[in-house]
Structure 1
Amino acid sequence: MGYASVMPEQRYRVAAAPGDLRLVQELLNTSAKNGGRTPDLLDAALPAAEWLSAYGITGDSPGISDLRRLRDVVRRFLLGAGPEPGEVTAAAPLVLHPDGTVGVAGEPNDIGALAGRILLAIRDAQLAGTWRRLKLCRNPDCQVAFWDSSRNTSGVWHDVRTCGNVANLRKSRARRSASVIVDGS
């Protein structure tokens, strides 16, 4: 089974974001996780080609470094830090259609068009108010992109059983340890 045949909801057991925002989630989840135990799908030629082929893009397409840079900028943005002033995030050819809609220009099967679709998906989600539901797991070793379907958008872990339990156990042990020191025992 190739890398591209395992989409993020299978790779990390997360619910897929709806609509075009799923593409943003999938891009974010191509990065390495767990100290490199889960590989970065855009760092090596074969997994990058397999991942891109899921979107009809040939593996030898130029611009993979632009796509990695876009992924990193979106990741930083979700972590609360935006791009550096003047930073170019992607060469995304956008066009205004006669009906007034904005779309991606040029060849639909190149990385620039994919970057354009990603940027438009982010913009559309921001306008619809759904962007706040796409989050990164709070576990710094994980940071899997997940769709927060909780009623009040309070989710912080991509999986409470794995990342959440580990963090909560650490906090509990730290509180008990601090309690012992304060009590003088």
Structure 2
Amino acid sequence: MPAGFPDFRLGPVLATSFTGTLSERQGDAVERIPTPQRLVDWLTVSGLAVTSCTPAQLELARELREAIHAAATAAARRDPLPASAIPIINAHSMNGRAAAILAPDGTRQWRLSSPSSVEDALGVIAADAISIIAGERDGKLALCASPTCQAAFFDTSQSRTRKWCDMNTCGNRQKKARFNANHPKTRRSAE
């Protein structure tokens, strides 16, 4: 990935990984797709490779991202889904013309209608969001326990009690802060 941009925070669930392209929403927000090319990069590493993206397509992607985030957050809290998010998610799902194909290794891949169809890729993401928000998949939506993050994530752990959207970022940061608060002498000797 090009230098100068924050790393992507990828997870096993497409829709919630997509909402993670804007992280630390409750603190100093980090935009991980600030340019059309960065969206191309994210789609590529997410298995939805496109060849190009326009600024208008980037804005459509951000609109979808925020609608999914709002709906997933409401679902995790067991609140009513925001009326403004539903038509955005549905429109993107209906506009996409991607086809699921079976790869030789037995995995599902997506074939977009053209190499530059960002709309098809967004349709796949919207359909994934619908499946998790509607409760069709084994797991549950939850919110990150980090007060600066609070990202929606899809918990597929056996006990469904995961606290962090990502243990390597939010979880470690919170555990380190708790350790430092409980061991001030250790923190001073390390400085």
Relative to the length of structure 2, the TM-score reads: 0.58
2:143–2:150 Cα contact (<8 Å) kept:
yes
The DSSP-based 3-state class of the residue aligned with 1:135 is strand
Write the distance in 2 (CA, Å) between the matches of 1:116 and 1:107.
Answer: 13
Alignment coverage as a number of residue pairs: 153
Alignment identity in percent?
16
- CA RMSD after TM alignment: 3.9
Question: Which of the pair has more CA radius of gyration?
Answer: 1
Partner of 2:2: 2
Residue identity in the other structure for 2:19 = L
1:44 to 11, 19, 35: 35
Q: CA 1:94–1:113 in structure 2 vs 1: closer, same or farther (change >3 Å)?
A: closer
Is this contact kept in 2: 1:104–1:116, CA < 8 A? no
> 2:117: which partner in 1?
110
| Alignment match, 1:162 | 173
Matching residue of 1:130: 138
Matching residue of 2:186: none
CA distance in 1 between partners of 2:44 and 2:54 (Å): 10
Where structure 2 has 5 or more consecutive residues not aligned to the other structure, the ranges are 100-109, 183-191
The one of 3, 25, 28 aligned to 2:16: 25
Superposition deviation, residue 167 in structure 1:
7.4
State whether residues 64 and 92 of structure 2, in contact with CA within 8 Å, keep that contact through their aligned partners in structure 1.
no
Correspondence for 1:12: none
Quote the offset at 1:114 in angstroms.
1.3
2:144–2:152 Cα contact (<8 Å) kept: yes
* Unaligned segments of structure 1, at least 5 residues: 10-15, 98-102, 173-185
Give the Cα separation in 1 of the matches to 2:59 and 2:7. 22
